[in-house]
Each structure stands twice: as structure tokens, then as C-alpha cells.
Structure 1
Amino acid sequence: MRRGRVTTAQAVRAGLLVALVLTGLVVALTVDLPSVTVVRGWLADAGAWGWVGLIALSALATLAPVPRTALSVLAGVVAGFWGGLAVAWVSGVLGAAAGYGLARALGRDTVERLAGPRLARADAALSGRGFLATVLGRLTPVAPFTLVSYAAGLSGIRWSAYLAGSALGLLPGTVLHVGIGATVGSTGGGWTLLVSAVPLVVVVVVAVVLTRRRRLQRSTPL
């Protein structure tokens, strides 16, 4: 893969991607959110379509560089534990898919032109590891949701591996944050916080075990 000049079409697509991200950020910072009471009333009146609309709006919000943790907590406050979990997890997976698709369609060609061999080496390193890399990216608290989505779309990670990794990697944090929101909103009772902490504990234990195993493998002579 050789580096080359970016064509006009590629520059336009990359510019469009940047414009979409900036537009989402501006909207997120300037639009006033309705109160919890208003949203709950809207969900009660709209029925199933209300839930579909809430999932769609939440998925769109994840395309902007805003903390997804806050969205999950708000989902728990508004919809309770189980309803909030469904909204936050489904919208997160949909938002992850949309972010990947936008980056792949609008920015991949430009990155190939600019990065050249460096991108080829990165793709080779991720070959066969896309699922694990995505899971780890989603589990890492300091990794912004939007950044992981767009970076995966610009990389060589396959769609199926990315989507499966996102679905799995988003679940523990989503359960925890929705549980916090449900507890604050007094819609699920205090037990939700305890239940939601279980996946986090499991993830920490698994991470410790895998880290120790990797260290042992590195220290063991061949």
C-alpha cells in the first residue's frame, strides 16, 4: 500500500465525516434536554414507538463526542433498570455500528492515502484480533465511545468482529451505569446497584487473570 495524494472526492468525504462529528457536538452542547418526568410521560403515551424513538435518539447521540456513560445513567433514571438497560445497550450497539460505517465509508480511503504502509502494518497487527481489540476498547473506561467506533471503521477490523466485540464489550459498563441511574431515579430499588456491579466485578477478575497469565507466558522461557 503506497502513500499518495488525496483525491477531491476523498477529501470531500473526509470533510463530511468531520462536519458530522462537529455538528453532533454542537447539537449536544446547545440542545436542552427535557425533564425526566416529561420523558416518562412521553414513553407512557407513545407506547412501543416511544421506546423505538428513545433508542434511535440515544443511538444518534453516541455519534457525537459526548460521554456514553451519561447516556446510560440517564436511561436508567428515565426507564428503570430493565427498560434502561434495553435502551442503553441496543442504542449503544446501533451507535457503534453507525460510527463504524460512517468512518469506513467516508474516511478509510483518505487514511489509506495518507498513512500508506503504516496503515497496512496496523491492519496486519489487527488481523484475527479485531474481536478482542474491540472488546478491550469497549471495556476500557478512558477510551471514548465515539473514538473507538471511528478508529475501528478507519482500521482493517472486520465488520462482524467489530460488531460482536462491541455488543459484548459494552454490556458490563452499561449494566453498571444503568443500575446507578435506576437507583438514583428510584425506579428499580437499591438492589439494582448491587446487581449491576456484578458484571464489573467479573470483568475485573477476568482482566486480572488474563494479565497474570500473559505475564507468566512472557516470563516462561521457550
Structure 2
Amino acid sequence: MTAARHSTRSLRWLILGGVVAVLTSVALLPDVRAFLITAFGALTSRDPSVTRAFVDSLGWAGPLALVAGFVLQAVLPVLPAVVLIAVTTRAYGPYEGFLLVYVGTMLGAAAGYGLGRVLGDTLIRTLVGERTRVKVHEFVERHGIQGVLMIRLMPVLSADVMNLVAGAARMEFRPFMLATAAGALPVTALVVWLSESGERLLWGMIILSAVVATVAAGRALIRRRRAGRSLG
């Protein structure tokens, strides 16, 4: 058991290290490095016209690359989703940015679900470890679709593992996507709205997550009391 766990942990670090090495190697290419420097300067510029000019120069490739980034992040979380959301909002504004983030989130959820369904628990164990896999698996089995909705409504938590486990647990695809869509909608709107201020974004995520957790705990307490009364 210990040897298997050590082997899984080593494989996980090997995969992540390989991904980081590939991304670093690509970023060191002269043309790629020049583009990244230009993009960083444009996206962090205080002059909106500079940002807009850079975005317009990308044409259709800009939105496509961002959506692909959300899908990649959902399957192999290397870059935090909040960073991608902030970049998208900065580049395309709150309305177009919201649409891109929401579409990317939904496609990423579908990709994660499909990957979990095909490769199952082996991939999940490799990416997040056995302990996390067991905890999330138990959560999915206990709460089902409501659990998916709950995780989506708590932005301080990552839903990436939930996507993989939902697929591995053979949860029905349509209810999973409906719960994902319902939960991601208000959270995406909130994060896009608050993304220009890091402090406001942090507090907004904490407050929303706390409210959802409180409601969920209250419902669980009510159910427990009702069950106690029926037994009594």
C-alpha cells in the first residue's frame, strides 16, 4: 500500500513537472517570449485603448485561445482559474468576458467529466492523490447532483476534481451539466464583476462560499433533526 502510494505520488509530480518543463521551454522561444512580454504589457496597461488594440490584433485567435485555456485548466489545473478570468475580463470587458469565461467553464467541465469517465480513478489518484480522491468520491455518492451544485456555488473551492470524479462515478451527464451550468452562472458573473479588484474579489468569493456553506449546513441540520424525530 505504501509503495503504491509513493509510486502514485511520484508519477503525479513527474506529470506536473513535465507540464511545467514543456510550458517553460515554449515560453523561452524568442518569438513566444516576445509575444508574452507584449501581451503582459498590453493587458496590464492603465490605458484601455492599448489593451483593446492588442486584443483586436489577435482577431478570432484571442477568444479561441482563452476558451482552450479554460478547458486545459479544467483537465490539468496548472494555472488558477481566477487568473484566467481576470485576464479574460481585462481583455474583453465584462460582457464578452463573461460569455467567454462561461463557455470555457462549461466546455472544461464536459472535458473533465469525459476524461474521468474514460480513465477513471487511476487518473484522479495520480493528479490529486488517494486521500482527496476518496473524500470527493464520498461527497459525490452522498450528495449527487446537489453536491455538484454546491461545489460550483463555492468559488473558494476548485470544481476541477469534482468534474473528474463525476465522470469516474458514472454520474449521468445531463444532470451533471445542468447542475454545473446553474452553479457556474452566478459565480462567473460575480468573479467577472469583481475581478478588477483583488481585495474585492477575495472577499466576494469568501462571503459567497460562506453563505452557501451556511445554507448547506442548515439544511443538513434540519434533515438530521427530522430524522431524529421520526425515529423517536
TM class, shorter-length: 0.5 to 0.7
Aligned residue for 1:63? 75
After TM superposition, give the deviation of residue 95 of structure 1 in Å: 1.0
- Structure 1 position 107 matched with structure 2 position 120: yes
Partner of residue 109, structure 2: 96
Residue 221 of structure 2: which of 210, 215, 218 is its match? Answer: 215
Aligned with 2:65 (options 53, 56, 61): 53
Give the residue type in structure 2 aligned to 1:61.
Q
Write the mapping of 1:1-222 to structure 2, written as runs, cut at 5 A.
Answer: 23-24=18-19, 26=21, 31=27, 33=36, 34-35=39-40, 37=42, 40-65=52-77, 66-107=79-120, 126=141, 130-181=144-195, 183-184=196-197, 208-220=214-226, 221-222=229-230
Displacement of 1:205: 5.1
Deviation at 1:90, TM superposition (A): 0.9
Quick one: which amino acid aligns to residue 215 of structure 1?
Answer: L
Compared CA separation, residues 212 and 146, structure 1 to 2 (3 A): closer
Task: Give the alignment's TM-score, normalised by structure 2.
Answer: 0.61
Q: Secondary structure at the match of 2:75?
A: coil
The higher-RCO structure (CA 8 Å, 6+ apart) is: 1
**Aligned residue for 1:7?**
none
Offset, 1:94 = 0.7
The C-alpha deviation readout for 1:3-51, integer Å capped at 9, x for no partner, is xxxxxxxxxxxx8x99876654555667475316267445313444532
1:132 and 1:215 mapped to 2: Cα distance?
16
| Counterpart secondary structure, 1:62 | helix
Paired amino acid for 2:221: R
CA displacement, residues 60-80 of structure 1 (integer Å, 9 cap, x when unaligned): 233222321222122222221
CA–CA distance in 1 between the matches of 2:208 and 2:197? 23
Distance 1:22 1:104, change over 3 A: farther
- Between 1:40-49 and 1:67-76, the stretch displaced more is 40-49
Shift of residue 171, structure 1, vs aligned partner:
2.4
Aligned residues: CA RMSD: 4.0
User: Which 5+ residue runs of structure 1 have no aligned equivalent?
Assistant: 1-14, 186-192
Distance 2:57 2:109 in 1: 29
1:184–1:103 distance in 2 versus 1, CA, 3 Å: same
- Measured in 2, the distance between the counterparts of 1:84 and 1:51 equals 9
**1:146 aligned partner, one-letter code:** D
Partners of 1:27 and 1:80 lie apart in 2 by 31
- 1:52 deviates by 3.0
Alignment gaps of 5+ in structure 2:
1-10, 28-32, 44-50, 125-129
Deviates more, 1:94-103 or 1:18-27: 18-27
- What SS class does the counterpart of residue 151 from structure 1 fall into? helix
Q: In percent, how many aligned pairs have the same letter? A: 26
Q: Judge conservation of contact 1:138–1:148 (CA < 8 Å) in 2.
A: no
Instruction: Give the structure with the higher percent helix.
Output: 2
